[in-house]
Structure 1
Amino acid sequence: MQILLTIYSILLGLVIGSFLNVCIYRYQTKEPISRGRSHCPKCNHTLSWYELIPLFSWIGLRGKCKSCHQPISIQYPIVESITAICFLLIYLKFGITFDTLIYFIFASILIMAAVIDLQTMIIPDRTHIICILCGILLLILHPTQLLDKAIGAIIVCIPLLIIAYATKGMGYGDVKLMGAAGFVLGWQNILFAMMLGSITASVIGIITTRIKKISLKTEMPLGPHLIFGILFCLLYGNQLINWYLTSFF
């Protein structure tokens, strides 16, 4: 049974990842998500069922459209694989619970937002709304966590809001993202996520500027790094915080 549920979580992640790719593409083209069959963005070829199998179709087609033979973005298998890995890790940590279903939704919307931010420098407002709804559902299941989540929503959000307003160097989407995610994770984990996201952004930013030989002042999206920190802390934050507290205090 455990093996079957593990496989199911991976397959579910692949399917949801495929849907996220559709959402990412249609968000930018302004196409309705619920209308029209999936098609090649270059030749408009309507995809057959065997071209829509998550991950395996991309591998089978060797990363090219069957009709026009133009390359299919590597984004598609990457998003599907990342979603499947996240679903697997969430299931292994939280088991068969309502929390798991909520965290599936939470992780999915964050993965979608990370890719959109990479491509457009925008984090859609629906990201924050869905994250807050996830937090509300978790509060219904765990009402004693209200104070922790309330503090989590403001402890990073307010300082970031001041920084964004004063420096104009940070988007308000990042501020809203951390406020909404803090409402889900609680104050300790959102602080850890902020620290981790800032470190990865700094390291990757320095490496990118060296490789591409661009200015350190070049605008880069912060959202994907923050989202990495959020998802990492969702899975391992409490464990690492408890280890730190018991080891050094």
Structure 2
Amino acid sequence: MLHLTPAVTIYILTLSALFGLVSGSFANCCAWRMAHGESAAKGRSHCVACGHTLSPRELIPVISWVVQKGRCRHCGAPVSIRYPLTEGFTAIAFVLIVLRYDVTLNTLQFWILTAVLLTIALVDLETGYIPDSLVLGIALDFTVVTALRGGPFWSLWLKGVFNAAAVALPLLGLVLLMDRVLGRESMGGGDIKLFFAIGLFSHWSCNLFTLLLSCFLGIAFALIFRGVCTEDGEGAFPFGPAIAAAAFLSILAAEPAVQAYLSLF
């Protein structure tokens, strides 16, 4: 953190971690509900096995899972370890973002983006589908924070659209060509929409970095989780988690990585 005392820095990082834990828990809840046809905005949190409505002490991120030894207090059914893992990951992610961008609108913007990307990854991992509502949420995040920055809103907004389209449109053309050559779908429409949405936030060169990184991560995930398949039973590992992971890493490292590469020439 820049120009802050150690005490204030620790305070801000602690708050960031706590906010990340809560955001990760909320993303987990939204992802499960969307994957199972429930409303993400209505209803109380409940055990997925017995339907027991969870009390506040059963909803404390990470701690509740540890205290209850990974089981529902009401029926004893196991609670997936994905909950504390994603909550802990989000806490770390939020701390890394505030260390990278300090206390700025960029931090707020990328906190929201990270939480939505996590939700998208979890839904896609379980269903093989990326909800349009979450992709629109990313675009709304960009639009609202752009408005909060002040300055020429439409100029900044159109600049974001140009940077997104500079990578997403050629990708769409390539995918359509591959679909025709292969006689089957080579990439889901949701993946292309997601590439466009996350492309709003960065320069086109950083978006190209995200695209390339997502391809490498997609191959790695497919090899590591070869036994995981989507609901259609085809054994294909969804691409959404790789795109989400690449986008998050790009938040932290795309700009310096691109600058370091260009400095070689």
- TM-score, normalization by structure 2: 0.85
Q: 1:79 aligns with which of 57, 69, 86?
A: 86
1:17–1:108 contact (8 Å) kept in structure 2:
yes
| Amino acid aligned to 1:62 | K
Q: 2:27 aligns with which of 12, 15, 20?
A: 20
Shift of residue 56, structure 1, vs aligned partner: 0.8
- Say how many residue pairs are matched: 243
| Partner secondary structure for residue 185 of structure 1 | coil
Shift of residue 146, structure 1, vs aligned partner: 5.4
Please list the CA deviations of residues 150-188 of structure 1 after superposition, one character each: whole Å capped at 9, or x if unmatched. 332112211222233342121000000001111112211
1:37–1:46 contact (8 Å) kept in structure 2:
yes
1:127–1:177 contact (8 Å) kept in structure 2:
no
Distance 2:144 2:54 in 1: 37
Shift of residue 80, structure 1, vs aligned partner: 0.8
Q: Percent identity?
A: 35
Q: 2:50 aligns with which of 31, 40, 43?
A: 43
Pick closer, same or farther for the CA change 1:44–1:200 going to 2, 3 Å: same
Which residue in the other structure is 1:227 paired with? 244
Q: 2:68 aligns with which of 61, 69, 75?
A: 61
2:29–2:40 contact (8 Å) kept in structure 1:
yes
| Amino acid aligned to 1:171 | G
Which residue in the other structure is 1:163 paired with? 174
| Partner secondary structure for residue 74 of structure 2 | coil
Identify which range, 162-171 or 72-81, moves more after superposition.
Answer: 162-171
Q: 1:152 aligns with which of 142, 163, 171?
A: 163
Q: Please tell me whether residue 181 in structure 1 is matched to residue 198 in structure 2.
A: yes
| Partner secondary structure for residue 79 of structure 1 | helix
Distance 2:11 2:136 in 1: 33
Distance 1:230 1:185 in 2: 10
Distance 1:176 1:113 in 2: 12
Which residue in the other structure is 1:193 paired with? 210
Contiguous gaps of at least 5 residues in structure 1: none
Moved over 3 A (4+): 137-140, 142-148, 206-209
| Partner secondary structure for residue 156 of structure 1 | helix
Q: 1:52 aligns with which of 59, 64, 69?
A: 59
Distance 2:222 2:28 in 1: 25
Shift of residue 207, structure 1, vs aligned partner: 4.1
Distance 1:82 1:155 in 2: 31
1:131–1:184 contact (8 Å) kept in structure 2:
no
Pick closer, same or farther for the CA change 1:203–1:28 going to 2, 3 Å: closer
Q: Please tell me whether residue 118 in structure 1 is matched to residue 129 in structure 2.
A: no
Q: Please tell me whether residue 240 in structure 1 is matched to residue 257 in structure 2.
A: yes
Shift of residue 88, structure 1, vs aligned partner: 0.8
Pick closer, same or farther for the CA change 1:113–1:157 going to 2, 3 Å: same
Which residue in the other structure is 1:128 paired with? 135
1:131–1:181 contact (8 Å) kept in structure 2:
yes
| Partner secondary structure for residue 239 of structure 1 | helix
Distance 1:138 1:46 in 2: 35
| Amino acid aligned to 1:17 | G
Identify, as 1 or 2, the structure richer in helix: 1
